């Protein structure tokens, strides 16, 4: 089984960090992972997108996919390109504290990710809050693996932010009233 996840936002929102955190959490869950990050021409304010393919067997899909069943959307600017690649029934988490305008889908999970992170004193942690919500809503990875990953993905000169990111992941996870069961069979996780 494979699942493709699309992440989009603007530079500076932590989309690439969220993608890496999800990928490391999946590897820690004994899953197969491929990640492709795509950056616009500007450091801040340009598009930043990532595609992650996660599976419980060797992956057949490259990390550049024509469709996906999950998405994390931090900003409205580049949403249409993601929306058009989602299959019916996709699970989508949108940061409503930043996202403006019409979503164009009827079934999305709207969270105030950036606002929650800011209230926690971690104004740069919106992507972590949204990622925690996506993990809870989909069952892709559990909170324990996400929290572990938060301590591994940061470079040494940013390591002091790992606990704040783990806390933001937990806050996002708690926003989902009924977390989904794991998508993966227990045999895949016991490898």
Residue 189 in any domain: the answer is no
What's the domain range around 134? 2-182
Residue 40 in any domain: the answer is yes
SS3 142: coil
CA 11-62-41 angle, to 5 degrees, is 25
Q: What pLDDT, on the 0 to 100 scale, is given for residue 88?
A: 93
With contact defined as beta carbons under 8 Å apart, do 117 and 129 qualify? yes
Measured in degrees and rounded to the nearest 5, phi and psi for residue 136 equal -65, -40
Q: What pLDDT, on the 0 to 100 scale, is given for residue 176?
A: 94
Q: Which helix (H) or strand (E) holds 90?
A: strand 86-95
Q: What pLDDT, on the 0 to 100 scale, is given for residue 29?
A: 95
Q: What pLDDT, on the 0 to 100 scale, is given for residue 113?
A: 97
Q: What pLDDT, on the 0 to 100 scale, is given for residue 43?
A: 59
Residue 163 in any domain: the answer is yes
Q: What is the pLDDT of residues 110-156, one digit of tens each?
A: 999 999 999 999 989 999 999 999 999 999 999 999 999 999 999 88
Number of domains in the chain: 1
Give the CATH number of the domain where residue 176 resides: 3.40.920.10
Q: What is the pTM of this model?
A: 0.91
Q: What pLDDT, on the 0 to 100 scale, is given for residue 155?
A: 87
Residue 132 in any domain: the answer is yes
Positive or negative torsion for Cα 88, 63, 123, 11 = negative
Residue 115 in any domain: the answer is yes
Residue 190 in any domain: the answer is no
Q: What pLDDT, on the 0 to 100 scale, is given for residue 21?
A: 97
Mean pLDDT per 10-residue interval, the chain, length 191 residues: 92 89 96 87 74 91 85 94 94 95 88 96 94 96 96 91 96 93 61 38
Residue 29 in any domain: the answer is yes
Residue 100 in any domain: the answer is yes
């Amino acid at each position: 089984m494979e699942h493709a996840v699309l992440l989009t936002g603007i530079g500076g929102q932590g989309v690439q960090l969220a993608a890496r955190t999800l990928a490391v959490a999946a590897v820690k869950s004994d899953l197969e992972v491929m990640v492709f990050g795509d950056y616009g021409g500007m450091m801040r304010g340009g598009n930043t997108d990532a595609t992650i393919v996660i599976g419980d067997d060797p992956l057949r899909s490259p990390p550049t996919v024509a469709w996906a069943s999950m998405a994390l959307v931090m900003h409205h600017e580049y949403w249409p390109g993601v929306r058009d690649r989602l299959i019916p029934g996709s699970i989508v988490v949108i940061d409503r504290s930043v996202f403006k305008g019409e979503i164009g889908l009827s079934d999305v999970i709207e969270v105030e990710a950036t606002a929650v992170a800011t209230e926690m004193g971690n104004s740069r942690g919106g992507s972590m809050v949204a990622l925690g919500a996506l993990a809870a809503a989909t069952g892709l990875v559990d909170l324990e693996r996400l929290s572990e990953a938060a301590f591994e993905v940061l470079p040494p000169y940013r390591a002091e932010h790992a606990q704040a990111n783990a806390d933001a992941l937990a806050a996002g996870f708690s926003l989902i009233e009924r977390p989904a069961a794991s998508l993966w069979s227990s045999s895949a996780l016991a490898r």
